[in-house]
Structure 1
């Protein structure tokens, strides 16, 4: 017989997740509490760690005072600060810190000594205690040191900054000194070459009788230089004259606006800005005060004073421009005179006679320029070496902290709370994932392909005692009604109550279902066909000295094994005495058993067979096959659903029909999946009227029931 395959289209809702957490909240609470206790204990036992930090400003190498304005310095380097971060944690910075503060001995005195007194181990430990942080878009670096001693943390931070500053200065000085030595050697060699070239030129000058103007030997370079200077002087005179004339033609207001673009004078810029602000302030005051108000008079006086200062400054600038123009004219005239004299003398030097001298002169000039360049560079570097430098500036020195930074009790507790809850929920879902038992009614329909005809709460008790409340009885009434609707066209009245494994509540369900059928007027017979572990005689309080085993062995008749119970309209056939139940097990497949089943169908309205577990022994399958209809009882969240599916397959392969499933032992108030059932339970618990205890019902007469049957469909 084909079985329905599980559907793969399973969509989880938020309520499904909430159901898992709500159902397993003790696990979440336990893991949460254990996590919090562990976190609090570990945090309390951890040593207190203090943090001291020093902030330093790190810039590229340059003197504090610019000696030579034309000196170019390196432009912005995006990797510079990152490189300095790594250097701060290097051996050449931290080794001196360890030695100066004698950290190895200090740690040993605190009983925190290293396994071996090694500089490398000390360096590794100190490096772990130091944290370097760079401030974004600045040249600032923070050196944070963590230690259990706040005083020592501050000492290490400050000493690290000082060691870094010393190392940068000494490294630059060492590099510069090596460069100076090389320049001095090169300058001595170049000086010798220059002297040789000058001696050769002087010898040729004397031999060729080269003319001399003043103290300067006439050369083409001299003429070219004078011509260039004359051109530059003329240009300067024209520029200054034009500038001066244009400024004189401007009005005072135009002059104030134009002077800032012509002359870069900080005083003028400051006066113009102050004057503008004074005008704005005066305009604002005009809106609130009259012309004679003290604030107005003060603002006008301030504005007039600034105007006078600016006019005086502008007048001084114009005077200066006039003086500069006159000096440029005088210099032009002097250069013109020198140029005329040199030009006349150069005509003589153009002859072939002076060609050797001109070559020697060019060589001497070249060697002299090289020597002067090397000498100037040597002097420049020597001066810059002596100028104070500050590549590293301590902005904020470290001080001994008053409070510790680790462990952070509140942060750890918050993290512990989050981790505890997450871990607890994760464990819940992991357990839920491993739990393949029947959890919801959809599991029955999805994996077994059977309808759920009954849902029984874990609060339900035995109805045989007559003390059950209406809510518990109503669950079995619904089960009774669903059984009636599930019988189909066969209108069978005999049912085998099955379960896949032991302890799922099939005997409990059989007894209570019999009571509910009997309360509605039906004549009910309960047959305890579990010959191995019978329980029906205990639930109904009858003797099991005579029962099914006696009938199967042929020692008793049908009438002799039927016993009345303490519940009206309920009769019972027990398993029989223990002496013969084992020997009667093979008789379950006998014709005598089939005759009994058929006979009982006609004697009673409802016949319920209590059976052993299906997957444990084969007795249940035999009984179900003979009865024809079966009801499968599954305990909620106990056994894997594959067991129930296997039990259904075994029963249906034997030829019996499973009409439905009873989900037993459900905590309806906790599992929101069964909230519909929880509704009627809550309704009866809250609104049922108080009634007197039910009077015990006298046992029915021990007589066989009539053969005719009762149509149950007319009773519901």
Structure 2
């Protein structure tokens, strides 16, 4: 599988990862929560206390009372005025300048508050709130103010001023409406009289008698329509007959002899001899043809007699066709004469019917308009009478049900709500900041980070606050992490002869020297003759772990002719040997990058089972790169959540650029209590019983002698070196 890009987003976390982030950064979350909560508490404390008084009013639209003349009309008018925006409109009226000006003048708020009238109006608009009580036609008018008396007085006066203003507006509208309605009734009466005169005039001019029977005009119109329709049908029939005769005559003129006889024989006309003669003629003709085909010649008596009969029949057919033409022409002339006569009759009836229809239609239209206007006049009179009676009644369009009272307790600030919101907002901000910091944090957080970016295994996970093992009493569970590290080194090095390892880190303070000392101690305990070389010629620290003087050591060996036995010291731990750094040189990299240094590494590799070389931070100086090129393997120590991932990649690149071989990474200083994902790798703590912690460390006297014997067999010098 291909490694993920270093710039890949880390947003896809599991629920456990979210909880882990919260645990790791709970301090930031608690601090943010406390700051926001305290801010909310301070703001709540310094906020001025405000009191609220409110009045409850019932608001009805105009025309909601039942009219004694036309109840349905008045109810419909009230429902029509109760639009979906009725209450929103009334809310704006309550906070309008006309209403609030009455409140300012009535309570003398300008002098009470020490401001001008415009400022008082602006303050009122800000403190007066209106809302519709859900499911009712009630309006709640609330006033919030720092002075409870002012809140009560203003709420009372706003309700009264709104009621007064609405009565003034609605009363003026009603008076204007009644005046306009009376004028409309007078105009309608004039219109009805004009319509009546028009109806009478048309009836006199056209001679129309308005029968009480409403069906007389309709029946008369039906009879006239039937007469005209009959004339039209007769005309159409004659015209169709004429067309048929013209078609027959045309065919007789255009057909040849045989076609003419065939056509004439099919006509169903009186005195048409062709219809019966022509089939006989054809039959006789077929018989003659049959006789000829049987061998009779043209001069045979039978043939001659039959031919004579055919000739006579042909003459009769020709005379019949001529007679048929004359008969058709006569019928055509007769049809034209009838058609002309019926056409004149049709036109006469049509004009008469049209004129009568127009007269009747004019009269009916005038009568219909007169009736409509008369009905409208009657309706307007009823409405006028109803509105006049309704206006005479006292209609309460607004009614106050709850009078404002003095508030007992302030409504603002709401201490409980503010503090709860402060806690919630603080918690949200704290968690948000924690996740933001986690997102911005590019340091190494997990083993997966190391293996994804470096493509090398994690050899061990070292818990936080692990001390120097050889100074601890009893069997410490911290040593198990280094035993895992020792085992992983054994299985991850490809060549068993690769026994020289340098320990590097990206920066100072990542626990590189402590890791080296503890690893050397564990390896020595396991029977490995182990040599520690303090190759950090900038700031050596290995000698401090064993309280050894480092005045003579590696630099003395590299710059003088001292023997190896003079610079290697045995530590109080069996199988563990140490080469101090010696006097610090001015050119540490130059001394390390020497032939004598290479020879030293090759020599100690032969003498010891494991050679561990400490080095300075590889990103700070070039010494570590030189050491990485001299030894067989390089182990990188990374402090958990300290070094950025790109710096970690630079550490590996620095080792590989000089030909070094990275065996793996030690993830150091891991807080297993906050990072639960590592508890599996440090679960060995649970295997150490409290009783075992009291057992003293092994004396190692027998093992020391064995170790000396092993080292002697692997060296070319005297055993007294150790």
TM-score by length of 1: 0.68
Question: Against the structure 1 CA distance between its residues 680 and 107, is the aligned structure 2 distance closer, same or farther, given a 3 Å change threshold?
Answer: farther
Q: Residue 39 of structure 2 corresponds to which residue in structure 1?
A: 38
Task: Using the TM superposition, give the Cα deviation of residue 501 of structure 1 relative to its aligned residue in structure 2, in angstroms.
Answer: 1.1
Alignment of 1:477-492 (within 5 A): 477-492=483-498
For 2:516 and 2:181, the matched residues in 1 are separated by: 112
Pair 1:691-2:695 in alignment: yes
Pair 1:83-2:81 in alignment: no
Alignment of 1:519-558 (within 5 A): 519-558=525-564
Partner residue of 2:676 out of 672, 675, 688: 672
For 1:702 and 1:543, the matched residues in 2 are separated by: 23
Question: Against the structure 1 CA distance between its residues 68 and 609, is the aligned structure 2 distance closer, same or farther, given a 3 Å change threshold?
Answer: same
Q: Residue 647 of structure 1 corresponds to which residue in structure 2?
A: 651
Task: Using the TM superposition, give the Cα deviation of residue 556 of structure 1 relative to its aligned residue in structure 2, in angstroms.
Answer: 2.7
Partner residue of 1:436 out of 426, 436, 442: 442
Question: Against the structure 1 CA distance between its residues 689 and 369, is the aligned structure 2 distance closer, same or farther, given a 3 Å change threshold?
Answer: closer
Q: Residue 464 of structure 1 corresponds to which residue in structure 2?
A: 470
Question: Against the structure 1 CA distance between its residues 464 and 688, is the aligned structure 2 distance closer, same or farther, given a 3 Å change threshold?
Answer: closer
Question: Against the structure 1 CA distance between its residues 556 and 164, is the aligned structure 2 distance closer, same or farther, given a 3 Å change threshold?
Answer: same
Question: Against the structure 1 CA distance between its residues 634 and 524, is the aligned structure 2 distance closer, same or farther, given a 3 Å change threshold?
Answer: same
Task: Using the TM superposition, give the Cα deviation of residue 565 of structure 1 relative to its aligned residue in structure 2, in angstroms.
Answer: 2.2
Task: Using the TM superposition, give the Cα deviation of residue 376 of structure 1 relative to its aligned residue in structure 2, in angstroms.
Answer: 7.8
Question: Against the structure 1 CA distance between its residues 60 and 563, is the aligned structure 2 distance closer, same or farther, given a 3 Å change threshold?
Answer: same
Task: Using the TM superposition, give the Cα deviation of residue 125 of structure 1 relative to its aligned residue in structure 2, in angstroms.
Answer: 2.3
Q: Residue 501 of structure 2 corresponds to which residue in structure 1?
A: 495
For 2:371 and 2:587, the matched residues in 1 are separated by: 136
Partner residue of 2:425 out of 404, 416, 419: 419
Pair 1:13-2:17 in alignment: no
Task: Using the TM superposition, give the Cα deviation of residue 617 of structure 1 relative to its aligned residue in structure 2, in angstroms.
Answer: 1.1
**Unmatched segments (≥5 aa) in structure 1:** 201-219, 226-363, 710-716
For 1:51 and 1:143, the matched residues in 2 are separated by: 10
Q: Given that residues 63 and 387 in structure 1 are in contact (C-alpha distance below 8 angstroms), is that contact kept between their aligned partners in structure 2?
A: no
Q: Name the SS for the 1:132 alignment partner.
A: strand
Task: Using the TM superposition, give the Cα deviation of residue 41 of structure 1 relative to its aligned residue in structure 2, in angstroms.
Answer: 2.4
Task: Using the TM superposition, give the Cα deviation of residue 607 of structure 1 relative to its aligned residue in structure 2, in angstroms.
Answer: 0.4
Question: Against the structure 1 CA distance between its residues 686 and 676, is the aligned structure 2 distance closer, same or farther, given a 3 Å change threshold?
Answer: farther
Q: Given that residues 501 and 611 in structure 2 are in contact (C-alpha distance below 8 angstroms), is that contact kept between their aligned partners in structure 1?
A: yes
Partner residue of 1:657 out of 650, 655, 661: 661
Pair 1:509-2:515 in alignment: yes
Q: Name the SS for the 2:694 alignment partner.
A: coil
Q: Name the SS for the 1:403 alignment partner.
A: coil
Deviates more, 1:607-616 or 1:77-86: 77-86
Question: Against the structure 1 CA distance between its residues 64 and 185, is the aligned structure 2 distance closer, same or farther, given a 3 Å change threshold?
Answer: closer
For 2:609 and 2:372, the matched residues in 1 are separated by: 135
Task: Using the TM superposition, give the Cα deviation of residue 686 of structure 1 relative to its aligned residue in structure 2, in angstroms.
Answer: 4.1
For 2:639 and 2:430, the matched residues in 1 are separated by: 26
Task: Using the TM superposition, give the Cα deviation of residue 494 of structure 1 relative to its aligned residue in structure 2, in angstroms.
Answer: 0.7
Q: Given that residues 467 and 693 in structure 1 are in contact (C-alpha distance below 8 angstroms), is that contact kept between their aligned partners in structure 2?
A: yes
Task: Using the TM superposition, give the Cα deviation of residue 39 of structure 1 relative to its aligned residue in structure 2, in angstroms.
Answer: 1.9
For 1:378 and 1:3, the matched residues in 2 are separated by: 92
For 1:479 and 1:382, the matched residues in 2 are separated by: 106
Partner residue of 1:565 out of 561, 564, 571: 571
Question: Against the structure 1 CA distance between its residues 221 and 669, is the aligned structure 2 distance closer, same or farther, given a 3 Å change threshold?
Answer: same
Partner residue of 1:596 out of 562, 581, 600: 600
Task: Using the TM superposition, give the Cα deviation of residue 189 of structure 1 relative to its aligned residue in structure 2, in angstroms.
Answer: 9.2
Q: Name the SS for the 1:406 alignment partner.
A: coil
Q: Given that residues 476 and 693 in structure 2 are in contact (C-alpha distance below 8 angstroms), is that contact kept between their aligned partners in structure 1?
A: no
For 1:380 and 1:646, the matched residues in 2 are separated by: 97
Partner residue of 2:129 out of 131, 141, 148: 131
For 2:656 and 2:691, the matched residues in 1 are separated by: 43
Q: Given that residues 533 and 612 in structure 1 are in contact (C-alpha distance below 8 angstroms), is that contact kept between their aligned partners in structure 2?
A: yes
Question: Against the structure 1 CA distance between its residues 627 and 63, is the aligned structure 2 distance closer, same or farther, given a 3 Å change threshold?
Answer: closer
Q: Residue 160 of structure 2 corresponds to which residue in structure 1?
A: 162
Q: Name the SS for the 2:478 alignment partner.
A: helix
Q: Given that residues 70 and 382 in structure 2 are in contact (C-alpha distance below 8 angstroms), is that contact kept between their aligned partners in structure 1?
A: no
Q: Name the SS for the 2:586 alignment partner.
A: helix
Question: Against the structure 1 CA distance between its residues 417 and 496, is the aligned structure 2 distance closer, same or farther, given a 3 Å change threshold?
Answer: same
Question: Against the structure 1 CA distance between its residues 632 and 370, is the aligned structure 2 distance closer, same or farther, given a 3 Å change threshold?
Answer: closer
Task: Using the TM superposition, give the Cα deviation of residue 36 of structure 1 relative to its aligned residue in structure 2, in angstroms.
Answer: 2.2
Q: Given that residues 48 and 405 in structure 1 are in contact (C-alpha distance below 8 angstroms), is that contact kept between their aligned partners in structure 2?
A: yes
Question: Against the structure 1 CA distance between its residues 488 and 49, is the aligned structure 2 distance closer, same or farther, given a 3 Å change threshold?
Answer: same
For 1:645 and 1:664, the matched residues in 2 are separated by: 17
Q: Name the SS for the 2:577 alignment partner.
A: strand
Task: Using the TM superposition, give the Cα deviation of residue 687 of structure 1 relative to its aligned residue in structure 2, in angstroms.
Answer: 5.5
Question: Against the structure 1 CA distance between its residues 699 and 105, is the aligned structure 2 distance closer, same or farther, given a 3 Å change threshold?
Answer: farther
Question: Against the structure 1 CA distance between its residues 582 and 696, is the aligned structure 2 distance closer, same or farther, given a 3 Å change threshold?
Answer: farther
Alignment of 1:230-245 (within 5 A): none
Cα offsets for 1:306-359 (capped at 9, x unmatched): xxxxxxxxxxxxxxxxxxxxxxxxxxxxxxxxxxxxxxxxxxxxxxxxxxxxxx
Q: Given that residues 475 and 695 in structure 2 are in contact (C-alpha distance below 8 angstroms), is that contact kept between their aligned partners in structure 1?
A: no
Q: Name the SS for the 1:582 alignment partner.
A: coil
Count of residues in Structure 1 that have an aligned counterpart in Structure 2: 546
Q: Residue 391 of structure 1 corresponds to which residue in structure 2?
A: 397
Partner residue of 2:148 out of 147, 150, 154: 150
TM-score by length of 2: 0.67
Q: Given that residues 50 and 145 in structure 2 are in contact (C-alpha distance below 8 angstroms), is that contact kept between their aligned partners in structure 1?
A: yes
Task: Using the TM superposition, give the Cα deviation of residue 496 of structure 1 relative to its aligned residue in structure 2, in angstroms.
Answer: 0.6
Question: Against the structure 1 CA distance between its residues 702 and 539, is the aligned structure 2 distance closer, same or farther, given a 3 Å change threshold?
Answer: farther
Question: Against the structure 1 CA distance between its residues 509 and 372, is the aligned structure 2 distance closer, same or farther, given a 3 Å change threshold?
Answer: closer
Alignment of 1:106-255 (within 5 A): 106-108=112-114, 117-119=116-118, 121-179=119-177
For 1:374 and 1:470, the matched residues in 2 are separated by: 109
Cα offsets for 1:583-637 (capped at 9, x unmatched): 3431222222111111111011110010111111111111011102011100011
Question: Against the structure 1 CA distance between its residues 682 and 670, is the aligned structure 2 distance closer, same or farther, given a 3 Å change threshold?
Answer: farther
Q: Name the SS for the 2:427 alignment partner.
A: helix
For 2:211 and 2:2, the matched residues in 1 are separated by: 116
Q: Name the SS for the 1:28 alignment partner.
A: helix
For 1:434 and 1:637, the matched residues in 2 are separated by: 12
For 2:393 and 2:494, the matched residues in 1 are separated by: 110
Task: Using the TM superposition, give the Cα deviation of residue 63 of structure 1 relative to its aligned residue in structure 2, in angstroms.
Answer: 6.7
Question: Against the structure 1 CA distance between its residues 620 and 367, is the aligned structure 2 distance closer, same or farther, given a 3 Å change threshold?
Answer: closer
Task: Using the TM superposition, give the Cα deviation of residue 413 of structure 1 relative to its aligned residue in structure 2, in angstroms.
Answer: 2.4
Q: Residue 452 of structure 1 corresponds to which residue in structure 2?
A: 458
Q: Given that residues 563 and 702 in structure 1 are in contact (C-alpha distance below 8 angstroms), is that contact kept between their aligned partners in structure 2?
A: no
